[in-house]
Amino acid sequence: MQITAHPLDETEARSERFGNSNLMQSALWGEFKRRRGHTRRRFLLETPHGRIALLGITRSMGRDGESLHIPFGPELSPADEERGPTLEATAGALTRHLPEACVFLRFDLPWPSPYTREPELFGSDGAWLGPPSDRLRELRMNINTARRNLRKAPTEINPPDTVILDLTLGERELLARMRAKTRYNIRLADRRGVVVAEMEPGTLAEWHRLYRETTERQGIICEDYEYFRELFRTAGDSHGFAATGVHLYGAWAEQELLAGIIVAHHRNSAYYLYGASGPRKRNLMPAYALQWHAMRAAKAAGCTRYDMFGIPPGRDPAHPMHGLYRFKTGFGGEELHYSGTWDYPLDHERYRALALQETVGNTYHTGG
């Protein structure tokens, strides 16, 4: 398979003219990461399926070098037997433009998992049991490749499992598709006086205090306040990221902020990126009111899909984030399972050492 990569200059890197459909491949996301101190590398790929833009973010690996992370890319739709060769050809095209310090390329694939089409991987209740072992997945991914060099990453950077709601439906049908308990909680919040509105940028610090408490309680990665301040600054850049907007919604009762969420709109999709909630008055169900408000706002803005952006891979009650699974799937969307994060090592010895480090003390990711 023949794929070539052409680095984009600074003006082109900030342009949305290439039409990336995923937020994580957008010009705004690349600019945001650049302002956060990463090296942004954006390319124009010439592929047998047409021309697409590809965003890569350099991640420092300390003295051991660096990696190039491609979040939810490349935005192609290869047939199953072409997946490995497509990644191999993409990696080969990009490598020509990368420094010697780059140890490996890492792809968060936006391709649905092929294992969701295999009946033996579903339980008696109809729930997907997840993919097979990494070794079996590697054997399948490397079919038809020349180098057999694709490796399942030891960690998922962005969530490979999510729930997508169809916003082309009317509000009545959206509610009808939810679990009865979810609908009840949305109406309960309204009856008990929970008010949801978009928060002003000046209130971000108040939201971040709730967010920090939430991450400590759930044991997930906590981004610092400056991370979110820069995200909103970038989204508000007057030089133009018209295809993308970032919104902060809060839920109050008696003038007390109970919960808040960050939702991004990019082209026809809305993404629930981050959530925060306090321990008080949770019986008022502010989290349900927030999601319903965000869905209606996204629909009004012209979005046709609402991405919950991260759930555990299945219904296992023993999973530490099973409560999150129950909450998000309760809104009635379709579960979608991507192929996950894959590595293409350039320096095998250094890659093995770095991969081993990543398997120690791994934390559950929620994306972003």
- Distance of alpha carbon 273 from alpha carbon 307, whole angstroms: 9
Distance linking the first and last C-alpha atoms of the chain: 32
Residue 340 has phi, psi (to 5 degrees) of 85, -165
- Distance of alpha carbon 14 from alpha carbon 271, whole angstroms: 21
Cα angle 347, 351, 355; round to 5: 170
Q: Are strands 151-152 and 195-198 parallel, antiparallel or unpaired?
A: unpaired
Whether residue 60 contacts residue 70, with contact meaning beta carbons closer than 8 Å, is answered with no
CA atoms within 13 A on the CB side of 141: 28
Averaged in consecutive runs of 10 residues, what is the pLDDT profile of the chain (368 residues)?
93 84 94 94 93 94 88 95 97 96 96 95 88 96 97 93 97 98 98 96 93 89 95 81 87 95 96 94 95 98 96 83 91 96 96 80 42
Whether residue 340 contacts residue 113, with contact meaning beta carbons closer than 8 Å, is answered with yes
CA atoms within 13 A on the CB side of 283: 0
Residue at token pair 């169809």: 166
Select from 59, 78, 73, 156 the least CA-distant residue to 107.
73
Whether residue 5 contacts residue 97, with contact meaning beta carbons closer than 8 Å, is answered with yes
Helix residue spans in 132-247 (DSSP H) = 134-141, 171-177, 180-191, 204-218, 225-235
State the DSSP code for 119.
G
Q: How far is CA 169 from CA 181, 271, 305, in A?
A: 20, 17, 10
Task: Tell me the DSSP string of 290-301.
Answer: HHHHHHHHHHHT
pTM metric for this prediction: 0.93
Whether residue 121 contacts residue 128, with contact meaning beta carbons closer than 8 Å, is answered with yes
State the DSSP code for 37.
T
Whether residue 44 contacts residue 6, with contact meaning beta carbons closer than 8 Å, is answered with yes
Select from 256, 351, 366, 268 the least CA-distant residue to 311.
366
- Distance of alpha carbon 321 from alpha carbon 173, whole angstroms: 28
Provide the 3-class DSSP secondary structure of residue 238: coil
**Confidence (pLDDT) at 366:** 40
Select from 238, 232, 300 the least CA-distant residue to 270.
300
Domains of the chain, each with CATH number or no CATH: 4-157+339-358 (3.40.630.30), 168-303 (3.40.630.30)
**Confidence (pLDDT) at 238:** 54
CA atoms within 13 A on the CB side of 299: 14
Q: 74 forms bridges with which residues in the sheet?
A: none
Whether residue 66 contacts residue 59, with contact meaning beta carbons closer than 8 Å, is answered with yes
How crowded is residue 97: how many other Cβ atoms within 10 Å of its Cβ? 14
**Confidence (pLDDT) at 368:** 37
**Confidence (pLDDT) at 319:** 81
Residue 33 has phi, psi (to 5 degrees) of -65, -35
Whether residue 54 contacts residue 5, with contact meaning beta carbons closer than 8 Å, is answered with yes
